[in-house]
């Protein structure tokens, strides 16, 4: 899937400063801000995942996938350790050239397995991040649209914001309500 994320010319610190200034302006405007559409809202994605039933299921699934990969890596490590021990034990009885060939083949296999393992970990990490981003995107979009927001920021990327721009509780309620309706 092609990323729809735009690339900014400004470094992260500049974007955070801008978000902080905008949030500060919203805070300073007080009552007026509550009466007009809010162009920027914030969300706590971790709370969304932890405090909704679907989020908890997603986290459990991602955790299980990570545990499965760790178990596979442990099994491979045990196999390689045993193979290395066997090769070391055979060293005294093998001609040096034959041992060197076996050792080189073993090293090549280890390097290949390491590369495959690194790739699996990278793919799992990317898939987990994409799943976290996709989770509840429709609900967040609907809330942002209803509030007239053009931008949704993660609360960790904002220095200061008013509770009025935090849509986390509303999103949690809607996601859990949708889950209840689907369960009926």
pLDDT in tens, the chain (184 residues): 444 444 445 566 555 555 555 555 555 444 433 434 789 999 999 999 999 999 999 999 999 999 999 999 999 999 999 999 999 999 999 999 999 999 999 999 999 999 999 999 999 999 999 998 888 899 999 999 999 999 999 999 999 999 999 999 999 999 999 988 888 7
pLDDT of residue 172: 96
Distance of alpha carbon 177 from the chain centroid: 24
Q: DSSP alpha helices (H): ranges in the chain?
A: 12-28, 31-35, 45-51, 53-90, 96-134, 137-147, 168-183
Judged by phi (left if over 0) then psi (alpha if -120 to 50, else beta), residue 55 lies in alpha
Q: What is the pTM of this model?
A: 0.65
Position 169 scores a pLDDT of 95
């Amino acid at each position: 899937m092609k990323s729809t994320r735009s690339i900014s010319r400004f470094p992260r610190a500049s974007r955070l400063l801008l978000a902080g200034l905008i949030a500060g302006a919203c805070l300073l405007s007080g009552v007026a801000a509550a009466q007009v559409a809010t162009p920027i809202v914030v969300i706590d994605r971790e709370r969304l995942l932890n405090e909704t039933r679907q989020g908890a299921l997603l986290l459990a699934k991602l955790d299980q996938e990570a545990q499965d990969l760790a178990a596979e890596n442990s099994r491979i490590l045990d196999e390689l350790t045993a193979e290395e021990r066997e090769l070391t034990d055979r060293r005294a009885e093998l001609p040096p050239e034959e041992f060197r060939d076996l050792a080189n083949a073993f090293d090549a296999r280890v390097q290949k397995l390491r590369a495959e393992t690194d790739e699996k970990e990278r793919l799992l990490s990317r898939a987990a991040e994409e799943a976290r981003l996709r989770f509840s995107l429709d609900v967040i979009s609907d809330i942002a649209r209803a509030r007239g927001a053009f931008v949704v920021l993660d609360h960790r990327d904002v220095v200061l914001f008013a509770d009025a721009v935090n849509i986390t509780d509303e999103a949690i309620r809607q996601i859990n309500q949708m889950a209840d309706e689907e369960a009926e």
